[in-house]
C-alpha cells in the first residue's frame, strides 16, 4: 500500500548504529505524543511516530474496541497487515537498513504486540508500555530470542492486575527474551518508565 495512506512524523537520527524506533500512540491520541517521547528515550536514534488509521474520540487508534473496552480481534487482524506493509514501505522510502524497535503505548502497545507475534521478522524488538494480550489465543508463532520490554502499572485502572504478566508469559513461551516490570503507577507514562526504556535500549541495541 502507498506510504501516504498513513500519517507519520520522522526525526532523523545521528547514530547510524542504532536501530530506528517506530512508535505507536494510545487511543484517542496522535503521533505527536510519541515523537516527544522518542526524544526522551533515544534522541540520537531515527524515530518514526505513526498515526493510527482509525478515528477515535478526538484522535486516532490502531484498532477498534467494543463498548466494554474489550479488544475487537477482527479489527486487529484487519489493521495489522496494513500497518506491517506500511512499515516496510517507510523503511524503503527512508533507506532504513536495520530492523526497527517498536515502541507502543496502550492501544499502540497492543498493536505492537500483535505485529511482532504475527510477523516475527518485522522488528528487532519491542517496548510495550501498559499493554495487554491482543489475542485470546496466541497465534503460535515463534519469537526466538526477540528482546521485549514490558512495563505495566499496579494502579492502572484501565487494566486488570494480571494483564501484563499474562502477555509476558505468552511471549516467553513463544521464545522471546522478555523483561517485565510492574511499577507503582497508573496508566500514564512516568519518568521511571523512560529511565527503564533508556537502560533497556542501551543494553540490547
Can you list the domains of the chain with their CATH numbers?
3-204 (3.40.50.1820)
The pLDDT value given to residue 44: 93
The pLDDT value given to residue 2: 38
130: left (phi over 0), alpha (psi -120 to 50) or beta: left
Q: In this predicted model, what pLDDT tens digit does every residue of 161-203 receive, in sequence order?
A: 899 999 999 999 999 999 999 999 999 999 999 999 999 999 9
Q: pTM of the predicted model, to two decimals?
A: 0.95
The pLDDT value given to residue 67: 80
What confidence tier does 153 reach under pLDDT thresholds 50, 70, 90? very high
The pLDDT value given to residue 4: 43
What confidence tier does 8 reach under pLDDT thresholds 50, 70, 90? very high
* SS3 per-residue string spanning 72-134: CHHHHHHHHHHHHHHHHHHHHHCCCCCCCEEEEECHHHHHHHHHHHHCCCCCCEEEEECCCCC
Tell whether the model's pLDDT for residue 77 goes beyond 70.
yes
What confidence tier does 5 reach under pLDDT thresholds 50, 70, 90? low
Cα–Cα distance for residue pair 98/15, rounded to 1 Å: 12
Tell whether the model's pLDDT for residue 39 goes beyond 90.
yes
Going by C-alpha positions, the residue among 185, 138, 190 that lies closest to residue 166 is 138
Which cell goes with 117? 507475534
- Mean pLDDT, residues 47-60: 93
Q: Are 123 and 83 in contact (CB under 8 A)?
A: no
Q: Are 57 and 28 in contact (CB under 8 A)?
A: yes
- Mean pLDDT, residues 134-153: 92
Sequence-ordered list of residues with C-beta below 8 angstroms from that of 152, at least 6 positions apart, any chain = 130, 131, 159, 163, 164, 180, 181, 182, 183
Angle at 46 between CA 119 and CA 103, to 5 degrees: 45
Neighbour count for residue 27 (Cβ, 10 Å) = 22
Tell whether the model's pLDDT for residue 133 goes beyond 90.
yes
The pLDDT value given to residue 1: 37
What confidence tier does 3 reach under pLDDT thresholds 50, 70, 90? very low
Please state the φ and ψ torsions of residue 108, each to the nearest 5 degrees.
-70, -30
Amino acid at each position: 500500500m502507498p506510504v501516504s495512506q498513513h500519517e507519520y512524523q520522522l526525526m532523523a537520527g545521528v547514530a547510524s548504529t542504532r536501530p530506528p524506533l517506530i512508535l505507536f500512540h494510545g487511543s484517542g491520541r496522535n503521533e505527536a505524543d510519541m515523537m516527544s517521547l522518542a526524544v526522551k528515550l533515544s534522541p540520537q536514534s531515527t524515530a518514526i511516530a505513526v498515526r493510527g488509521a482509525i478515528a477515535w474520540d478526538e484522535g486516532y487508534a490502531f484498532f477498534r474496541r467494543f463498548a466494554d473496552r474489550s479488544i475487537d480481534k477482527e479489527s486487529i487482524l484487519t489493521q495489522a497487515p496494513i500497518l506491517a506493509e506500511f512499515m516496510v514501505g517507510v523503511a524503503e522510502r527512508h533507506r532504513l537498513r536495520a530492523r526497527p524497535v517498536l515502541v507502543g503505548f496502550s492501544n499502540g502497545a497492543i498493536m505492537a504486540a500483535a505485529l511482532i507475534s504475527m510477523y516475527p521478522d518485522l522488528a528487532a524488538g519491542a517496548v510495550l508500555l501498559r499493554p495487554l494480550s491482543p489475542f485470546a489465543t496466541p497465534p503460535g508463532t515463534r519469537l526466538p530470542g526477540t528482546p521485549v520490554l514490558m512495563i505495566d502499572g499496579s494502579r492502572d485502572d484501565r487494566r486488570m492486575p494480571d494483564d501484563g504478566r499474562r502477555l509476558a508469559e505468552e511471549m516467553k513461551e513463544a521464545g522471546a527474551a522478555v523483561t517485565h516490570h510492574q511499577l507503582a503507577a497508573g496508566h500514564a507514562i512516568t519518568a521511571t518508565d523512560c529511565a527503564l526504556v533508556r537502560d533497556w535500549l542501551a543494553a540490547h541495541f
